[in-house]
Structure 1
């Protein structure tokens, strides 16, 4: 049997209101979530609820492919994420196929499955699971993604359940596309901020070396990079250490040009 999912066994997830349309409920999830990660986890729980029912045995994960890397960005439980990650370790499986090729992939019974070799089917079946359904999202160039549903019952996603999953992913693809776009911009902003912060502390360290060694900028940069290489440390970390070292009482830096006498 599957380990208890605290959300599914407790009923519908936060934001689920049968009187609202799916899109309206997704909007509520966005508004009620504290951050992007929480929204995606709530979306996975909501997806399992919408497709398989609030008290059913289905697990759900959302796989995102970006820059040739695959990751589960939302999961209904830790167990769902662990099962998704089996595919990433093997570089093959239904959710990867569904996302890459943008087509639905159904595994009625893992016991009789051999499309991805015995390793995949055996590893997932060892978690007590028997059927898998992966349905692609259509993100229109933002990235590639798939909704992954797992059940301990064979043939769980036959007929109406598969049709419901298909229609559901079409409905929420736009919301997920927006979420991924926000994530991309957030990542870019974070990377830019980190780059600017690194650039600032490196420039400060170069200025300190120039003053202490009475040398030009090019020489100071070489001293700093040599110290980074010799100490096997990141340039930003060694620059930060230098800047902090001169923050208190007059502290002589050990980053001096080799062979150059200490200034007096």
Structure 2
């Protein structure tokens, strides 16, 4: 029988993951794997996490390839206990999928894969996102009151970790956007300087020449600027900007 970790142990372990230099996807995968371990006492339990942002459901992490496949089916069909748990903020338990009449398309896939019971527990993320964890087992009635309580305790900890991970991902995306913007600004400024020298014109006139050429050729301003700098024998410029 696997040892069930206490919530504070999980919190320390997950916090350490965030403190270390791990990829966000690796952190979320570890969250799913630890969740599966929490409920894998005398049976194998699979786990997946589905996140909804901007009206789109995405499988962000799973403990196994089988869990990945099941969650992708659920997101694809846009029906299932995990999505129901997201919408209602309620724990959804399916003791025997063979007797479940809801979510017919998804349940057909679950039965065909030999899975027999499902538990879906909502995660508390933020005002713009909803998420839930799916737990799967090959046995019927695998999730009783004790297992449901364990899952709920774990998701209290996991919710914080997932929310932090998503916030870190947003910051990383913002930093990358700033880096790209700075690099674009650099190459455009250099191209403007080249145009000023070639045409003996002002900076404003050079900007207008570049924009007009970009529109006429149906090419992005940055791409045209790179072509101009390359044409005069200069390498693509870089910036010292660090996110």
CA–CA distance in 1 between the matches of 2:7 and 2:70?
A: 33
CA–CA distance in 2 between the matches of 1:149 and 1:47?
A: 9
SS in 2 for 1:166: helix
Matches within 5 A, 1:199-238: 199-209=185-195, 211-212=197-198, 216=205, 217-227=207-217, 229=218, 235-238=221-224
Instruction: Name the counterpart of 1:190.
Output: 176
CA–CA distance in 2 between the matches of 1:204 and 1:132?
A: 59
Q: Give the root-mean-square deviation of aligned CA atoms.
A: 2.9
What 5-or-longer segments of structure 2 have no aligned partner? Answer: 236-243
CA contact (8 A) 1:62 1:73 kept: yes
Go from structure 1 to structure 2 and tell me whether the alpha carbon gap of 1:59 and 1:65 turns closer, same or farther (over 3 Å shift): same
1:40 and 2:36 equivalent?
Answer: no
CA contact (8 A) 2:49 2:62 kept: yes
Instruction: Name the counterpart of 1:93.
Output: 80
Go from structure 1 to structure 2 and tell me whether the alpha carbon gap of 1:88 and 1:245 turns closer, same or farther (over 3 Å shift): farther
Go from structure 1 to structure 2 and tell me whether the alpha carbon gap of 1:241 and 1:180 turns closer, same or farther (over 3 Å shift): same
CA contact (8 A) 1:33 1:39 kept: no
1:75 and 2:44 equivalent?
Answer: no
Instruction: Name the counterpart of 1:170.
Output: 156
CA–CA distance in 2 between the matches of 1:113 and 1:164?
A: 24
1:139 and 2:125 equivalent?
Answer: yes
Runs of 4+ aligned structure 1 residues displaced above 6 Å come to 16-20
State TM-score, norm by structure 2: 0.80
> What whole-Å deviation, never above 9, does each CA across 1:86-145 have from its counterpart, x for those lacking one?
1121122221221233221222222222322x2111122222212211101112436221
Deviates more, 1:128-137 or 1:25-34: 25-34
1:49 and 2:37 equivalent?
Answer: yes
SS in 1 for 2:125: coil
Q: Which has the higher helix share?
A: 2
Go from structure 1 to structure 2 and tell me whether the alpha carbon gap of 1:177 and 1:214 turns closer, same or farther (over 3 Å shift): same
SS in 2 for 1:129: coil
CA contact (8 A) 2:5 2:38 kept: no
State TM-score, norm by structure 1: 0.74
Deviates more, 1:139-148 or 1:17-26: 17-26
SS in 2 for 1:21: helix
| Higher relative contact order (Cα pairs below 8 Å, separated by 6+ residues) | 2
Q: Figure out how many residues of one structure are paired with residues of the other and give that number.
A: 230
Report the Cα offset of residue 59 of structure 1.
Answer: 0.9
Instruction: Name the counterpart of 2:238.
Output: none
